[in-house]
Amino acid sequence: MGYRAFVDLVAPPLLGRFRLRAYSQVMTPSRLRWLVEPGSPTVELAGLFAAAGHQLYLVGGSVRDALLSRSHDDLDFTTDARPEQIKKIVGKWATAVYTVGQVFGTIGIRKAGMSAEITTFRSEIYRDDSRKPHVTFSDRLEEDLSRRDFTVNAIALRLPDLEAVDPYHGLADLGRKLLRTPLDPEVAFSDDPLRMLRLFRFQATLGFHPDEAAVEAVRSMANRLQIISAERIRDELSKIMEAPRPSRALKAVVSAGLADQFFPELPALAMEQDPVHRHKDVLSHTLAVVDKTSPDLVLRLAALFHDIGKPATREIGADGVRFHHHEVVGARLTRDRLRALRYPKEIVEQVGRLVFLHLRPHTLKMGWTDSAVRRYANDAGPLLGRLNELVRCDVTTANRRKAEAIGRRLDELEERIAELAEREELDRMRPPIDGNQVMEFLGIPPGPQVGEIMEILYERLLEDGPYSEEEAFEMVREWATKKRLTS
Ligand code: ATP
Ligand code: MG
């Protein structure tokens, strides 16, 4: 039986009775073996800490992801050693040592392809930038684990023997795919309100479900998110957006009242009827579009914001509801919101532009001129691929014929862009000599003969690609000899 199956089926009841000692004695799952491979940097590091009389544990996301066989970039370690001691222990051994996080107890290191953070056990920590960093170190691992966000992130593996320390039953929760705080959720969320958003972030990235009590707590204390910096919120939002299917987590962020705190335009979409798509409201349509797009941050954000201008532009007329120029208003709202969330300028501009352009292809009737096609491609610039994908994914109508018609129109548009590009590429290619040089060389006046020879020179270009000026004159001479124009 695979380890995953073991956790799913056996672990919850087993762990309840025997705790984790049983688990580590039963097996060292193959997915953890790389941690204890002789000569590996993790083994060497554990040796250094042991020699200095200190404990070392792998902890947090790196343990969780190792157990789930997911890749994880950086390793997180925790230790009873204080930051000064950590620096002494790893100083000579590591290739690089980073101390930017030292006030929080964290020393970063690199060694032989391993990038890791080693943090002293902590019993208290305010992480928000708006408050003075406040950290209390601890001598007890259990205390450190109790301050972590979720039980699945609060499992520690002692090195080098891989004994699991799991006082909050994170392994059982991994098996149940459950996101639960180690302490009471009210306590956990008031200690650091960002954890409320992280709850839904992990729902999106891991596909786990949030514990009902935790969701209840978010509902009652969502406004605490106000004290959290825009940068920290932005990073969690980005991780949600890059998850395989963000819709369910986004919906939960809205319904728990969290979105109101940092992105109020999103819940406003739920109030808006959707007269065109098959969804009952604009929010549901938006979330469906998000899930359909590929997980690229710019494209996903554009999907999330594409109809954001609808509530502000709604007009009810004789022939139903209209959202006149909602893409223009939407692009402005998009830029404002992304700026407030401290997204880099380039992302703000790219997402804003995609929102601005997302309706353009719908004006494509049979009669789009070359110049309209050219302008579309030009306005989209390097975003063309993403724009076309956004427009395709925006089609969520239940009406098959209508959906197919829009799909065909987009195919046609893409073909025309490709054709135009090819033609213009060729137009940019010119034979190495021009008509004047031909006339001068042969001593003939302008006329159809010049056109004829230019055609030949151009044909050769299409056939063989670029050639030299001498070759061109040689061709002119041959042509003239045939025509007996020269002696
Ligand atoms: P990923 O790296 O995949 O985003 P992660 O779980 O490693 O997920 P990080 O933000 O890298 O998340 O944090 C590493 C670990 O630090 C977490 O697993 C958790 O144990 C702890 N942690 C991080 N942020 C918080 C927080 N706001 N409150 C409590 N614990 C946290
Ligand atoms: Mg991490």
Q: Minimum-distance ligand to the CA of 63?
A: 1
Residues with CB under 5 A from ligand 2 (ion): 61
Would you tell me how many other CB atoms lie within 10 Å of the CB of residue 377? 18
Q: Cα(380)–Cα(291) distance, rounded to whole angstroms? A: 22
> Cα of 208 to ligand 1 centre, how many Å?
15
Ligand 1 contacts CB of residue 144 (under 6 A): no
The C-alpha R_g of the chain, in whole angstroms, comes to 32
Ligand 1 contacts CB of residue 153 (under 6 A): yes
Domains of the chain and any CATH numbers: 3-176 (3.30.460.10), 180-262 (1.10.110.30), 269-428 (no CATH), 435-482 (no CATH)
Q: Whose C-alpha lies nearest to ligand 1, atom 17?
A: 60
> Residue 34 has what pLDDT?
83
Q: Minimum-distance ligand to the CA of 59?
A: 1
> Residue 130 has what pLDDT?
54
Q: Minimum-distance ligand to the CA of 125?
A: 1
Tokens of 134: 């406040």
Contact by Cβ (8 Å): 86, 120: yes
- pTM: predicted TM-score of the whole model, two decimal places: 0.82
> Residue 60 has what pLDDT?
96
Closest CA to 121 of 172, 156, 75: 156
Give pLDDT tens digits for 88-98: 999 999 999 99
Pairing between β-strand 56-59 and β-strand 75-79 as defined by DSSP bridges: antiparallel
Ligand 1 contacts CB of residue 185 (under 6 A): no
- Stretches where the chain sits below pLDDT 70 are 1-28, 127-133, 275, 364-367, 426-427, 485-487
Ligand 1 contacts CB of residue 182 (under 6 A): no
> Cα of 87 to ligand 1 centre, how many Å?
22
Give pLDDT tens digits for 431-486: 899 999 999 999 999 999 999 999 999 888 878 777 899 999 999 999 999 887 65
Element (H, E) at 119: strand 114-120
How many residues can be counted in the chain?
Answer: 487
Closest CA to 113 of 138, 130, 94: 94
Ligand 1 pocket test, pick from 58, 118, 149 with the greatest ligand atom count within 8 Å of Cβ, gives 149
